[in-house]
Structure 1
Amino acid sequence: MTFHDFQFDSKLQEGLDAINFTTPTPVQEQAIPPILEGKDIIAAAQTGTGKTAAFLLPVINRIIQEAAEHQSIKALIVVPTRELAIQIDQQMEGLSYFTSVNSIAVYGGSDGAAFAREKQALTQGADMVIGTPGRLMAHLKMNYVKLNHLKFLVLDEADRMLDMGFSQDLMNIISYLPAKRQNLMFSATMPPKIRELTKKILQDPLEISIAISKPAERVKQGAFILYDYQKLQVAVGLLRTQDLKSVIVFCSTKQNTKNLTQELKRAGLNAEEIHSDLEQKEREHVLNEFRNRKISILVATDILSRGIDIEDIEMVLNFDVPRDAEDYIHRIGRTARAASKGTAYTLVGEKEQGKFYQIEQLMEMTVPKGKFPPNFGETPEYNPKKNRGGDERRGGFRKKKN
């Protein structure tokens, strides 16, 4: 199957040909036809599967086909983070380049001038609005956003929005929308709360499931079992001994991210941090520097584990064990995207063993454990049933005590 088989509008297809979009991914192949037919869908798909284009392309095509004389908002895409809103808006710009369909992204973390620009664009009526729940509600409450001609509602990363406490905001946003509309929901996981949300929002949806809880086969995985105070030594060793130009190091907390970045810089490594304490402009600057290879090591919280599309990540290093298998998969899924290969290592502290074992069980696989040289020093045994630890959510950043 090729994208030509979907019989998109000629201008939309021209854009796809220009960026060498030829063969749809499985989620695109399954989701695009029913969306074109006007059906509600709920799709379970990991990041990196092409799910953004799976909803953007048919929605753009429908907007072209149903072109109205009046300029009005036709589609609303709700996402959990500003980074994802920016990314979708950028992808939208590329896919719709040869069409007349336009979009605007609205998100928090910017100044009053940005809010005013958003207000002006929303008042004029962009075809597609991409936004975070809080920012969308801020505009909707002021009653200048007209949604009476809206045809499409898309909820992307729906599970993460619920995890972040946006459930009530989502229902408030939906209260402003016309009852007659097409609803599209994309989620990495399908917990009971997503099923409940589906019942409230979607009408007789078609369910699409693209294998979840399985890491990409092209990712070479490994884990090192150690004490917390040994993590920094191993991290520096891994980053120094390999000539890598693009590495993401994940930490479970902002404080660990800050601490580790400082230590890596002291070790002479080209590292920068990104987390929610940075201003939006700072975060965008760091991401651009990383994309352009001016920064080789990006130390991040899970804000980067979902949704952000950065090409050619050579290695992912989990400095802290993530909270569950889905987060682990999202993290290591930053590498080995498209047809490339990549490596992912996890540093497993003694009290994180139980959590890492649960991840292995859910993935139905055993991650190979790395061995240390004889002069490295004592390390703990991998005995996860014994070493479950207490509060394992925060991970570990410890220096060896003198």
Structure 2
Amino acid sequence: MKFSELKLQDSVLDALDAMRFDECTPIQEQAIPIILEGRDLIAVAQTGTGKTAAFLLPILDKLSTGNYPADAINCVVMSPTRELAQQIDQQMEGFSYFVPVSSVPVYGGSDGVLFEQQKKGLTLGADVVIATPGRLISHLSLGYVDLSKVSFFILDEADRMLDMGFYDDIMQIFKHFPETCQVIMFSATMPTKIQQMAKKILKNPAEVKLAVSKPAEKIIQAAYICYERQKLGIIQSLFIDEVPERVIIFASSKIKVKEVARSLKMMKLNIGEMHSDLDQSQREHIMREFKAGRINILVATDIVSRGIDIDDIRLVVNYDVPHDSEDYVHRIGRTARANNDGVAITFVSEKEQTNFKNIETFLGKDIYKIPLPEELGEAPEYKPSENKYKRSGGFRKSSGGTKRKGNYSSKSKQAKK
């Protein structure tokens, strides 16, 4: 469908034409008419599907009519990170080029001048406020922000915000909105905690869910069936000959990230860690070091499984099996970008076998199982159905175990066969 077929104002269509936007993506085609109708919406779509335009365009269309109070905040867009808020603000500038709508980005930073600029925009009443939860709470607590006339509340990457611990902040902000506020929630996944929050803040919402894309064929996928205690030894084996320039190791929690990072530093590996306990400036510093190559290995929670703008990540390691298939796709999608090859390796302990089998079922194929290095001892059998009900299965010797400590590239070649 073309944008011209949607019931958008001419001023919005003119901006799209100037930006050479012609065809809608599926999420835009489905979400824009619902938002224009004034209905609450919960939409499940991956990063990169065009969801920013899916919520900005209908909001701009409505605001352009002039039927909303001047000098008031009419829309709040909530973003989990400063980087995403900046990206949304940049798209806002383009889409609103021919539309008399004002906006202000509100996110953290150490610059006092930036805080004063944000305060001015909030006090004067910008039409659209694009904010991270923590910084908006900071301004709210000082008493000069009026959210009583907000007509639209948009949560972008809602699952990521909850993973980062922003649930209470979001609910505190939500209390400042009028009951008539239209709520639009976008999320890449739909875990239980997202469903619970949706029930609290959405009114009879429409639902749009796009099928999760399968991983790129260029990604070489493999797994180690192992005991939990063997996982660090596998990493040591992978990197004994060489360490790729950029590696991301995903772990299930910030506590696990800290433990793994501490152990890998003791192996003299060049490590950075990324989790929700770090403040914004710390996260930005780590990402700069990683992009510049001064950090080879980034150990992270799912806080970085979406939205990383780095095209040459060579290897993704799932230290823990992701909870669902969608998380798996997001994680391994960090590699094999921009026509590069990439490798994704998952460590599967006994209690994680059922989750991993569910991922294989979703992918429609069995992922190659790399034999454990002999020096790590025996591995558990891969019996997901049995391990669903009991935590200790039979033992088998590591069939075809390698006698040498190979690096990740030699094992990935084996996995490709």
Q: Do they fold alike, i.e. is TM over 0.5?
A: yes
The Cα RMSD (Å) is 4.0
What corresponds to 2:85 in structure 1?
Answer: 88
Work out the CA distance in 2 between the residues paired with 1:286 and 1:145: 33
Residue correspondence of structure 1 range 90-169 to structure 2 within 5 A: 90-97=87-94, 99=97, 101-106=102-107, 118-159=118-159, 161=161, 169=169
What corresponds to 2:408 in structure 1?
Answer: none
Structure 2 residues not aligned, in runs of 5+: 393-417
- Kindly provide the amino acid, as one letter, of the partner of residue 89 in structure 1: Q
> How far apart are residue 291 of structure 1 and its match?
3.8
Residue correspondence of structure 1 range 2-401 to structure 2 within 5 A: 2=2, 9=12, 12-13=15-16, 16-17=19-20, 23-66=23-66, 70-79=70-79, 81=80, 83=81, 85-97=82-94, 99=97, 101-106=102-107, 118-159=118-159, 161=161, 169-190=169-190, 194-195=194-195, 197-212=197-212, 215-218=214-217, 219-238=219-238, 244-261=244-261, 264=264, 270-293=270-293, 295-335=295-335, 342-357=342-357, 359-360=359-360, 366-372=366-372, 377-384=377-384, 385-386=386-387, 389=391
Aligned length: 382
Aligned sequence identity (%): 45
Work out the CA distance in 2 between the residues paired with 1:242 and 1:168: 44
- Kindly provide the amino acid, as one letter, of the partner of residue 251 in structure 1: A
Work out the CA distance in 2 between the residues paired with 1:238 and 1:185: 41
Cα–Cα, structure 1 residues 101 and 389, in superposed 2: closer, same or farther, change >3 Å? farther
> Greater CA deviation, 215-224 or 186-195?
186-195
- Kindly provide the amino acid, as one letter, of the partner of residue 143 in structure 1: G
Work out the CA distance in 2 between the residues paired with 1:278 and 1:168: 18
Cα–Cα, structure 1 residues 286 and 5, in superposed 2: closer, same or farther, change >3 Å? farther
Is the 2:237–2:373 contact (alpha carbons within 8 Å) kept by the matching residues of 1? no
Is the 1:28–1:53 contact (alpha carbons within 8 Å) kept by the matching residues of 2? yes
Which structure has the greater CA radius of gyration? 2
Is the 1:275–1:301 contact (alpha carbons within 8 Å) kept by the matching residues of 2? yes
Is the 1:15–1:96 contact (alpha carbons within 8 Å) kept by the matching residues of 2? no
**Partner SS for 2:222:** strand
Is the 1:42–1:186 contact (alpha carbons within 8 Å) kept by the matching residues of 2? yes
Could you report, residue by residue, the CA deviation over 1:120-149 in whole angstroms, capped at 9, with x for unpaired residues? Answer: 432233332233445434433443112344
Structure 1 residues not aligned, in runs of 5+: 391-402
What corresponds to 2:412 in structure 1?
Answer: none
TM-score for both structures, normalised by structure 1: 0.75
Cα–Cα, structure 1 residues 356 and 152, in superposed 2: closer, same or farther, change >3 Å? same
**Partner SS for 1:343:** strand
What corresponds to 2:405 in structure 1?
Answer: none
